[in-house]
Amino acid sequence: MTDRQTATLIGFIAVLLWALLALFTAASGAVPPFQLAAMTFAVGGGLGVTSWLFRPGATAGLRQPMIVWLAGIGGLFGYHFFYFTALRNAPPVEAGLIAYLWPLLIVVCSALLPGERLGWHHVAGAVFGLLGTALIVTGGSGLTLKAEYAWGYGAALICACTWTAYSLSARRFAAVPTDAVAGFCAVTAILALACHIAFEETVWPTTLGEWLAVLALGLGPVGAAFYAWDRGVKAGDIQVLGAASYAAPLLSTLVLIATGFAALTWSIALACFMITGGALLAAKDLIRRT
């Protein structure tokens, strides 16, 4: 297996971890979004810092130009800020689907990266993934956009563009070690705390299970996932990762079904076929080289 294939698989670990986001968030109780972001990003940043105890020289990864810090913090904090803003100002179904345009945008915009070639199968695979995700989000009942929610829709689109820019800039700064992500998480936690103080009332988890869910979020979907994604987009096949990212909402739904939070429907079954087929189509070159 080549280094590029290995990095791609590492990047897909992030997708698998993001599939647990909905479950752990639901299990975390009534903690408001920015407070939850502050708590989980603090845990995620701490995860990277803890690894430095065994790698003393890793702290050098924090010594980066300001442009790297702006790109990293802007990606992590900016994505969540606009996502939460979208959910506050538009129905969650529409806002969530618009925000999840980022895998398709990554695939299409990757053509701007040096050394990347965009094939028809990359775009087709990403489009299949988007359509499958639409089936999951809407339940096959269609989508209606209303002018009164324009600000929320706009925030969701900015959210998608923010994560796309973050992922593509990671390839641009491929020489920056993944250890820098710990710093990005720490600053994001501070900014999320400031937003929480400004916009929300504090609500703490009330049970051990809710506290464990917050910890699990910080260690996995809001922790290790960002380190894995950074490695994947820097050294892996970014087009395959973009298309394969549509597996996250599918896997998340399947986890919710398995744990009794959702039911299996025809739309989910069809979405499974479309997203899996789209990911395989986008990855056909990678599979042939295996």
pLDDT range class, residue 287, cuts 50, 70, 90: low
> What integer pLDDT is reported at residue 243 of this predicted model?
84
**Cα torsion 155, 22, 74, 43: sign:** positive
The larger pLDDT score, comparing residue 209 to residue 114, is at 209
What pLDDT is attached to residue 109?
86
Listing DSSP states for 198-233 in one string gives HH-------SHHHHHHHHHHHHIIIIIHHHHHHHHH
State percent of the chain over pLDDT 70: 96
Amino acid at 8: T
Average pLDDT of every residue of the chain: 89
Q: How far is CA 95 from CA 66, 209, 220, 261, in A?
A: 32, 29, 24, 21
What confidence category does residue 290 fall into, taking pLDDT thresholds of 50, 70 and 90?
Answer: low
Higher pLDDT, 209 or 112: 209
Predicted confidence band of residue 30 (pLDDT cuts 50, 70, 90): very high
Residue 260: count of CB within 10 angstroms of its CB: 7
User: What's the pLDDT band for 289 if we cut at 50, 70, 90?
Assistant: low
pTM greater than the 0.85 cutoff: yes
**Residues 267-276: pLDDT tens digits?**
888 888 888 8
Q: Which residue has the higher pLDDT, 9 or 145?
A: 9
**Between 234 and 117, where is the model more confident?**
234
How far, in whole angstroms, is CA 275 from its chain's centroid? Answer: 17
| pLDDT band per the 50, 70, 90 thresholds, residue 113 | confident
Closest CA to 72 of 212, 1, 194, 176: 176
> Which pLDDT value is given to residue 197?
97
Looking at residue 288, its pLDDT comes to 64
User: Which tens digit of pLDDT belongs to each residue from 140-190?
Assistant: 676 677 888 889 899 999 999 999 999 999 998 999 999 999 999 999 999
- CA 156 to chain centroid, in Å, comes to 14
Q: Which of 144, 21, 38, 53 is nearest to 94 (CA)?
A: 144
3-state helix, strand, coil in the chain (%, to 5): 80, 0, 20
Mean pLDDT value across residues 189-197: 97
Task: Give the residue, 253 or 164, on which the prediction is more confident.
Answer: 164
Instruction: Give the pLDDT confidence score for residue 143 in this predicted structure.
Output: 67
**C-alpha to C-alpha distance for 195 and 71, rounded to whole angstroms:** 20
pLDDT cut 90: percent of the chain above it: 51
Tens of pLDDT, residues 49-80: 999 988 888 899 999 999 999 999 999 999 99
Question: pLDDT at position 263, please?
Answer: 75
The reported pLDDT for the residue numbered 123 is 87
**pLDDT of the residue at 65:** 95
